[in-house]
Structures are given as structure tokens and as C-alpha cells.
Amino acid sequence: MNTILPLKKDINSQGNFYVPPTKFKEWVDQVSFPNQLCFGSRRSFCTVSPHPSNKEEYLISEDLWKILGVPEEMSVHLFEKGNSLHIGPLVGIFTAGFTKDSMRPIGERSMYFAKLLSATSKCGAFGFAFGAHHIDWKTGSIKGLMYNKRGWYRVTVPIPDVVYDRLPNRSSASIEQVSTTMEKLQSQYFTPWFNPGFFDKWTMFEKLREDSIVKQYLPETVLSPKSAIISRMLKDYEQIFIKPANGSLGLGIQQILKPADEKYYYCRFRTDKENRLRRYTSLARLLKTQYPNGMNGLIAQQGIDLHRINQRSMDYRVHTNKNKDGKWEVSAIAAKIAGAGSLTTHMASNGTVKTIGELTSEFGIKKQVETDLMEASLQLSRSIDKRVSGFIGEIGFDLGITKEGDIYLFEANSKPGRGIFAHPRLKAEEAKTRTLPMEYAIFLARSAIEKQLVTPV
């Protein structure tokens, strides 16, 4: 990785880019000098010179500063390709839900974006948030939002070197202007765009089922199941979960139970912020009442007899991210324990979060659990990466472990929720899940600039 050095404006010269003497000597030795300076999609001819004060920093003449649209002085990377030098990189974080509130310009998510942009600058990159409506295609510029210690402020910058997709939900991702923006940036500017869209549960299941290494983690899953299939699954497992194929946050999930020693069928679900349990004399009656519109677009998934804590089921959230070398690593692991009477472990359903350390000290869970979860998550990350188009930089996994120690995948999310990070002992992990996407953005930008072949690892 290139050295990060301060970038400053020089008001006493024109057309110059000053570099540390050691860097200038490299070009002298090669008898080859770059003559173009680039920032995002902008470029300008320049004269490279050794720093007038021999400092370890970069200086840009004020005229070039304005032409390139550099927003402020900060520490940056310098990438080299042929006769061009690229400062930055410039990272655009694409989202929706902007407001007119100068203190909270991205609504309730403003604090998260502020932290994300702070992480970007610490990594040596210019970061800004923008939406589809902020782009001026005629001038190739974007009116985005930046953040520093003084707060939020608006900037006009070029098209970025790389885009990190942080759209809040599926409905915003399905807007035509959003898909057009993504297509245009990639086709006209060759801008790498990572974490596009949202994973579809069924499509993901079908892709992973093709992989002999990870299919061991998959519970039996059926799309748009007929009542005969549901009946057979209940005989096999005594419990199944019905979920929307493209849902998230645990919304719309119901559990159907048929204990082998009982004649009744039970349905557990959540409505009006309350956990409900209904008893039925037949499966036909249950399905007709609970699913009056049929099972199209729903998936039935094998219920797993999960390891329990105080009679409450427990699963695990594992975050994986690509790092500065474009390789997968685990960035956070936490256990989620279901609330009383709840069918999911989501925080909204009164679930609680525990660190692996707390599970070990309070409940005697073996540390080996952490190693097993990390191995499974990295195998799954690599498998998804190979089978999903586009650049994937982060994934959130919901994994369950049986009493026998078998691991099952319940869900993989391209834009994982961040509920576990409310836990005070997960602050370091929370910071890591913000820093790693920015390091990966820099890797993607550098790879695109240097025309390296960027392949999933």
C-alpha cells in the first residue's frame, strides 16, 4: 500500500505538483516524469517538482486545486500509472433518504454516515455521501456531502474513483434512477461499484447449493412450497420457518410447529410488536388462516434444534469484510439470544446480544465455537463472492449451531444490520466494520487506476 502523506494547497505557484525529494529522485533515476495529475474523473497537465521545503508532503498549485475540484487539505494516497498521478482516492458512498436538515442530512442514519466518512479520511481517502439526484452528468460533477469535526458541509467534486453502495432498503434500490446511475458510472466512467443491491434468499440458497464445500451449512429450503411439502417437512423436522424470499430484518417470518407427540399444529409469529402463538387442529386450517394469499414468493426452511441458553434459542451474527488486500476476514462475531416467546433473535423482538467471551464466562460455551464460526463464514464469503456478480465487500451472516455442534446458515445479507454494535464490548468491532470497507474501496480504486485484474479472493 502506498504511503499516506498530507496534501496541501500552494498559493505561490501555477501548474505545479510538488512531491517529497525521495519520490522525485525515483523519476530522475528513471529519466521519466509524469505530466498529468488526476483526482476522481478529473485530470490536468502539471509539472512535477521536488518539494520546495523538502517536506514529506504533497503540494498542489492553487490553479490545479480548483481545476481538479479537491475539496480540502488532508492526508492521501498517490497512485501512479504511466504518465499520470492520481491523488486520493475519491470514494463516493451512494445512498438515499436525504433530508433538508443540515444537522441530520441523511435522517436517522446521519451518525452512521458521519462515522463512515471519518473512517474514510483516516484511511487516506476523500469520502463523500451522495444520491442519484446529486449528479450533474453534463459537467461530470457531484454535489455531495462531506463530514469533519466541525460537522456536515456540501462540496462539489468529480465523479469518484470508486462507489460504496449503502442504499437503505430494497425499495430504494429498485428505483429506475438508481439503476441508471449505477449503469452510467460503470459504463461511461468505469467506476468500480461494490456491494450492489440486496441478496435474495432463494437465489442465494440455489447458488450455494452448487458448492460442495459449503452446502453442509444449508438447511433444507423450498420455494413456494405446496401443503404436501410442508406436511412432509414437519414430519421430518417437527418445525419449519416460513419467510419472504426477499425479506430482511426478520420481518414476515412465521414458525410452524408439529410436535410428534401432539395432534395440534402451532404457528408462532409477531404482530403489532407482540409475539403470538396460535393453535390449529389441522395444517390446512393453519395455512388458510395464516397465508390467505397462498405461499407464492415464500420459502419454507427446515427448523434447526438450536443450542439454547436459559431455554431460549440462540444464533450468531458474523460480519465478514474484504480488507486492503482484497481478501476476506472476519470483522465481528456476536451471539443473539431470543426474547421470551420470540421466534427470532432480532433486537426488535427483545433479543439480547452477548460476546463470545461472555458466553464462555457466563454459560461455559467453548471458545472453539468462535473458530468454527469464523471458518464457516470465510468459506461462505468466498463461495458467495464467486457466484454473485459485481464486487462484494462485506457480508453479514446469521448462523445457528445445534447441540451437536453442526453449523447452519439462516441468512446472508449484503447490507447487514448493525444492531449487535449497541453492545458496549463490541466498539472495536464496530469501528472495524466501518474501516475495512474503506480500505477495500482504496484497494478497488488503486486496482482500477493501475489496471490490475481485480478478481474475487
**pLDDT for residue 311:** 83
Amino acid residing at 111:
M
Find how far residue 147's CA is from the centre of its chain: 20
**b (16+ CB within 10 A) / e for 405-427:** eebbbbbbbbbbbbbbbebeebe
d(CA 314, CA 343): 10
Degrees to nearest 5, angle at CA 188 with 183 and 192? 65
pLDDT at 117: 97
3-class secondary structure per residue, the chain = CCCCEEEEEECCCCCEEEECHHHHHHHHHHCCCCCEEEECCEEEECEEEECCCCCCCEEEEHHHHHHHCCCCCEEEEEEEECCEEEEECEEEEECCCCCCCCCCCCHHHHHHHHHHHHHHHHCCCEEEEECHHHEECCCCEEEEEEEECCEEEEEEEECCCEEEECCCCHHHHCCHHHHHHHHHHHHHCCCCEECCCCCCHHHHHHHHHCCCCCHHHCCCEEECCCHHHHHHHHHHHCEEEEEECCCCCCCCCEEEECCCCCCCEEEEEEECCEEEEEEECCHHHHHHHHCCCCCCCEEEEECCCECEECCEEEEEEEEEEECCCCCEEEEEEEEEECCCCCCCCCHHHCCEEECHHHHHHHHCCCCHHHHHHHHHHHHHHHHHHHHCCCECCEEEEEEEEECCCCEEEEEEECCCCCHHHHCHHHHHHHHHHHHHHHHHHHHHHHHHHCCCCCCCC
- At residue 93, the pLDDT reads 98
- For Cα atoms 361, 349, 432, give the angle at the middle one, nearest 5 degrees: 55
Q: Which three cell numbers stand for residue 406?
A: 453442526
Q: Which CATH architecture has domain 5-88?
A: Beta Barrel (2.40)
What's the topology of domain 91-194?
Rossmann fold (3.40.50)
Give the CATH architecture of domain 199-216+305-449. 2-Layer Sandwich (3.30)
For the chain, the structural domain boundaries read 5-88, 91-194, 199-216+305-449, 220-303
Return the pLDDT at 364.
87
Q: Which three cell numbers stand for residue 242?
A: 416460513
- For 220-303, the fitting CATH number among 3.90.79.10, 3.40.190.80, 3.30.1490.20, 3.40.630.30 is 3.30.1490.20
pLDDT for residue 274: 84
Q: Exposed, middle or buried by CB within 10 Å (0-12, 13-18, 19+), for 298? A: buried
What's the pLDDT score for residue 250? 60
Q: Is the dihedral of CA 294, 297, 298, 301 positive or negative?
A: positive
**What are the tens digits of pLDDT across the range 211-265?**
999 999 999 999 999 999 999 999 999 999 999 887 665 668 899 999 999 999 9
pLDDT at residue number 249: 55
| CA atoms 12, 14, 16, 17: torsion sign | positive
Closest by Cα among 38, 206, 209 to 126: 38
Name residues of the chain where pLDDT drops below 50. 1, 452-457
